[in-house]
Amino acid sequence: MKRSFFTFIFFALVSLVSVSFKAPSYHTITIKVTNIRNSKGNMQLQIFRNAENYNKGLAWKVKIVDKGEMKNNTLTCTFTGIEEGEYGIALLDDENKNKEMDYTMFMPDEGFGFADYYHSGWSKPKFDQFKFTLKDDKSMTAKLRYV
């Protein structure tokens, strides 16, 4: 009797734990980058998970893609194995491959963009302007801007 009681308790606890534990769900993000002005350099994509890290320039993931693969001034980039959650994706057309935005007189020399958001202002956008929630595989577009 004692043994069957403990067996019952064990299986009840295992059932409760397995019901409350949800395995993470992983997805793919595909970004179509448009309006690329030339094939020099690389396209740098940065995924941010929150405003604090975006403001500090601390990307959660960075992907560098050779622009030699672009066709008709368009390049497709893919991130795989991304958990559900809130993200924002920023892009840099790194024409000289130095992994940072270059400026002349406070104006960007290279192109930049954000997934599913076109920034037309003169200041850096806020994270809330281009963030999104990932629940399924997602296709996005990023139109680069050159000043």
Domain that residue 74 falls in: 23-143
Asked whether residue 13 is assigned to any structural domain, the reply reads no
pTM value > 0.85: no
Residues 6+ away with beta carbon under 8 Å from 143: 34, 35, 113, 118
Q: What is the DSSP letter of 113?
A: E
Asked whether residue 7 is assigned to any structural domain, the reply reads no
Asked whether residue 11 is assigned to any structural domain, the reply reads no
The whole-angstrom separation of Cα 84 and Cα 86 is 7
Q: pLDDT at position 70, please? A: 94
Q: pLDDT at position 3, please? A: 64
Asked whether residue 95 is assigned to any structural domain, the reply reads yes
Asked whether residue 3 is assigned to any structural domain, the reply reads no
CA 105 to chain centre: 29
Residues 6+ away with beta carbon under 8 Å from 78: 28, 29, 30, 31
Domain count, the chain: 1
We report the CATH number of the domain holding residue 104 as: 2.60.40
How does pLDDT run along the chain (147 residues), one tens digit per residue?
A: 566 665 656 555 555 555 556 678 999 999 999 999 999 999 999 999 999 999 999 999 999 999 998 999 999 999 999 999 999 999 999 999 999 999 999 899 999 999 999 999 888 999 999 999 999 999 999 999 999
* DSSP bridge partners of 71: 74
Asked whether residue 1 is assigned to any structural domain, the reply reads no
